Amino acid sequence: MAQKKIFSIICFTGLLIAFGIGITGETAKAVTFQNLVAKVDWQKDLVKRLTAKKWMPPEGWEIVKGKIPKLVIFNSGSMKYDPATEVNGKIFTERTGIEIEWIIVPDPATLPKEISMLTARAGRVPVIYLKPEASIDFYRAGWVEPVDFLWSPESKALYPKAVVDTSSYKGKMYGTPWFIKATQLVYRKDLLKKYVGTTKPPKTWKEIIDYAKKLTLDLDGDGNIDIWGYLFNTGPSYPRSMKMRINEGLFTQGLTSEDVLDKHGIPQYNTPEAIRALQFLVDCVQKHKVSPKGCTTYADKDTYELFLREKAAMMQNHTWINFKLIKKMPKEKWGVSLMPKCGGWGGGPEGVASTRGGVYDYAINAYSKPYEKLAAALWLDFVRCFEACKNQQVVEQNQAPMSMVYDDPEVKEKTVYFDTIKKTVEVGEAINYHQGLAICDVLVKHCNKAILGRMPAEKALEKAQKEIKNVFFY
State whether residue 315 is helix, strand or coil.
strand
State the DSSP H helix or E strand holding residue 105, giving kind and residue range, or none if neither: strand 100-105
User: Rounded to the nearest whole angstrom, what is the least distance from the CB of residue 90 to another protein in the complex?
Assistant: 33
State the DSSP H helix or E strand holding residue 169, giving kind and residue range, or none if neither: strand 168-169
**DSSP assignment, residue 333?**
G
User: Rounded to the nearest whole angstrom, what is the least distance from the CB of residue 139 to another protein in the complex?
Assistant: 9
Chain Cα centroid distance, residue 136:
13
User: Rounded to the nearest whole angstrom, what is the least distance from the CB of residue 388 to another protein in the complex?
Assistant: 30
Neighbour tally for 285: CB within 10 Å: 22
The set of residues, in sequence order, having a beta carbon less than 8 Å from that of 170 and lying 6+ positions away, is none
Residues paired with residue 71 on neighbouring β-strands, in sequence order: 100
State whether residue 185 is helix, strand or coil.
strand
Q: What are phi and psi of 127, to 5 degrees?
A: -105, 120
Q: Of the two residues 57 and 436, which places its CB atom closer to another protein in the complex?
A: 436
Positions that interact with another protein (CB under 8 A): 1-3, 111-112, 115, 119, 137-138, 140-143, 223-224, 228, 235-237, 239, 292-294, 296-297, 302, 306, 309, 311, 435, 437-438, 440-441, 444-446, 448-449, 452, 454, 471, 474
Distance of CA 88 to CAs 104, 248, 304, 384, 442, Å?
16, 31, 27, 11, 37
**DSSP assignment, residue 140?**
H
Q: Of the two residues 39 and 287, which places its CB atom closer to another protein in the complex?
A: 287
**Helix %, strand %, coil % for the chain, to 5?**
55, 15, 30
User: Rounded to the nearest whole angstrom, what is the least distance from the CB of residue 142 to another protein in the complex?
Assistant: 7
User: Rounded to the nearest whole angstrom, what is the least distance from the CB of residue 313 to another protein in the complex?
Assistant: 13
User: Rounded to the nearest whole angstrom, what is the least distance from the CB of residue 438 to another protein in the complex?
Assistant: 4
Q: Of the two residues 50 and 443, which places its CB atom closer to another protein in the complex?
A: 443
Residues paired with residue 185 on neighbouring β-strands, in sequence order: 316, 337
User: Rounded to the nearest whole angstrom, what is the least distance from the CB of residue 76 to another protein in the complex?
Assistant: 15
Q: Of the two residues 168 and 435, which places its CB atom closer to another protein in the complex?
A: 435
State whether residue 17 is helix, strand or coil.
helix
Q: Of the two residues 285 and 411, which places its CB atom closer to another protein in the complex?
A: 285
